[in-house]
Amino acid sequence: MREFPNRKGVMLIGGMPATKMAERFGTPVMVTDENALRENYRAVWKAFNDHFPTRVNYACKANTNLSILRVLEQEGTFIDAVSIGEVESCLRAGFVPERILYTGVAVSDAEMLALVKANVPINVDSVPQLRRLAKMDPKHPISLRVNPDVGSGHSAKVVTGAKGAKFGIPKDEIISAYREALDLGFSPRGLHAHTGSGGSDPQVFGRVTEVLVEMFERVRSELGLKLEFLDIGGGLGIPYRPEEHPTDLNAVAAEVADRLKGSSVRTLVIEPGRYIVADTTVLLTTVQDIKRTPVKDYALVDAGFNTLIRPAFYDSYHHVAVANKFDRPAESKYDVAGPICESGDYLAKERMLPKVEAGDLLCIYDVGAYGFTMSSNYNTRPRCAEVLMKGGKAALIRERETVADMFRHQKVPARLRK
């Protein structure tokens, strides 16, 4: 969990007081530190390339803000995209098609045709999808996604590599899938798998690498196909709680590299998303009311699960601080809840904080991954603004939605307008 400096009792983010940001941009607002973003990417790239030639494909489903993507494009990342919208986001941010790998599931013909027209490589999820793609362009650049029967993740909802998951070609069928791809006219470039999200155990990454290397070598020996890369997916976790330790990147990279020894793999691909963006961003939200009940006290704020759904959806922990009382000791326990008309609308439960009052500014940590991208207009509430910090200067990178924005695409039939 990233530490933030304190100036006269006020939290500093990217060199600017949090209170000043709230005054300038309003709340709720998500604030990203550009330097932290660049540091995280460089740490991942260096850790893995110190052990084995590695390409980093940023899993952009974590955060597709164009400015965030632009920073990472400058850093040299490639992209893992899972929708045509993500592909378009990356193209608009300056990525060339060759630096994007599309990995979708339940892919429609229309979406696949758009990828073909854009010349974006496709990581094929199933044999039926492979056959449909062959009718469009049997020379299109592809790789194949396998279900490795190795699953991991911080929640059952994010485990993707376990047997029976909806993702990938079953591992017992992968050789025949490559054979059919060759018969259809394709020249597959790689092999891909993903175990899940939020892991930190080097052994998990080692196991999936070992499974994939065995398949990689069988493709070479049985089919004579020399694949260009082995993609072990992402899932690198971060410490959301103060007492948790950060993922040991060097240990993970060393474990993976050890499983690659003696293989014919020449390029490793990894797909971190959360690790690169999560701790770069915080959510600032203003306390509207303090409600005391016979059971607990609530700090009621202007951000709800429409703004940050992870606590309600995954029971995820996000650290909370009082940004304008950053130097004060904790003395009272609160549930931090929002304005949504649901009992499940909360951001944090039973948190010891300094005495909180209406008007205080709370900071929710580590929202850069799956924060804005999973936000919604539930209860017909506008989505929040986003700000990018660098060297004490703030830039608005997403305007706050207005109520009027939410009605732009709605149409009322003439017969109902009478």
Q: Is 72 left (phi over 0), alpha (psi -120 to 50) or beta?
A: alpha
What is the CA 105 to chain-centroid distance, rounded? 17
What is the CA 173 to chain-centroid distance, rounded? 29
Give the Cα separation of 194 and 205 in Å (integer): 10
What residues pair up with 291 in beta bridges, in sequence order? Answer: 298
**Closest to 124 measured CA to CA, from 136, 106, 151, 110:** 106
Please, what's the b/e burial string for 354-387 (b: 16 or more CB within 10 A of its CB; e: otherwise)? bebeeebbbbbbbbbbbbbbbbeeeeebebbbbb
Which residues form the catalytic set? 341
Give the list of residues 6+ apart from residue 84 with CB closer than 8 angstroms, or none: 111, 114, 115
pLDDT in tens, 342-397: 999 999 999 999 999 999 999 999 999 999 999 999 999 999 999 999 999 999 99
pLDDT in tens, 155-174: 454 445 456 678 899 999 99
Distances in Å between the Cα of 387 and the Cα atoms of 39, 295, 336 are 18, 37, 23
Q: Look up residue 301 and give its two tokens.
A: 């704020």
Give the Cα separation of 65 and 62 in Å (integer): 10
Instruction: Tell me which DSSP letter residue 190 carries.
Output: E
Give the Cα separation of 145 and 106 in Å (integer): 13
Provide the pLDDT confidence category of residue 197 given band limits of 50, 70 and 90: low
Instruction: Report the Cα–Cα distance between both ends of the chain, in Å, rounded.
Output: 57
Q: Which domains does the chain have, with CATH numbers?
A: 6-32+278-407 (2.40.37.10), 34-275 (3.20.20.10)
3 state DSSP class of 155: coil
pLDDT in tens, 52-85: 999 999 999 999 999 999 999 999 999 999 999 9
Q: What is the predicted pLDDT for the residue at 153?
A: 45
Q: What is the predicted pLDDT for the residue at 150?
A: 67
Instruction: Tell me which DSSP letter residue 267 carries.
Output: -
Question: Residue 47 phi/psi, 5° resolution?
Answer: -60, -45
Q: What is the mean pLDDT of residues 200-210?
A: 89
301 close to 285: Cβ distance less than 8 angstroms:
yes
Q: Look up residue 243 and give its two tokens.
A: 């007492």
Q: What is the predicted pLDDT for the residue at 166?
A: 82
3 state DSSP class of 11: strand
Question: Residue 156 phi/psi, 5° resolution?
Answer: -60, -20
Locate the DSSP E strands across 135-234.
142-147, 169-170, 190-192, 229-231
Q: What is the predicted pLDDT for the residue at 198?
A: 53
Whether pLDDT at 3 is above 80: yes
Distances in Å between the Cα of 87 and the Cα atoms of 59, 74, 91, 315, 376 are 11, 17, 6, 30, 21
Q: What is the predicted pLDDT for the residue at 151?
A: 47
pLDDT in tens, 31-61: 999 999 999 999 999 999 999 999 999 999 9
Give the Cα separation of 127 and 342 in Å (integer): 42
Locate the DSSP E strands across 331-409.
332-337, 346-353, 361-364, 385-390, 393-398
Q: What is the predicted pLDDT for the residue at 123?
A: 97
Of all residues in the chain, the percent with pLDDT exceeding 70 is 95
Whether pLDDT at 340 is above 80: yes
Give the list of residues 6+ apart from residue 74 with CB closer than 8 angstroms, or none: none
CA atoms lying within 13 Å on the CB side of residue 116 = 18
Whether pLDDT at 148 is above 90: no
Q: What is the mean pLDDT of residues 269-286?
A: 98
Give the Cα separation of 384 and 305 in Å (integer): 12
What residues pair up with 287 in beta bridges, in sequence order? Answer: 301
Whether pLDDT at 261 is above 60: yes
Q: What is the predicted pLDDT for the residue at 10?
A: 98
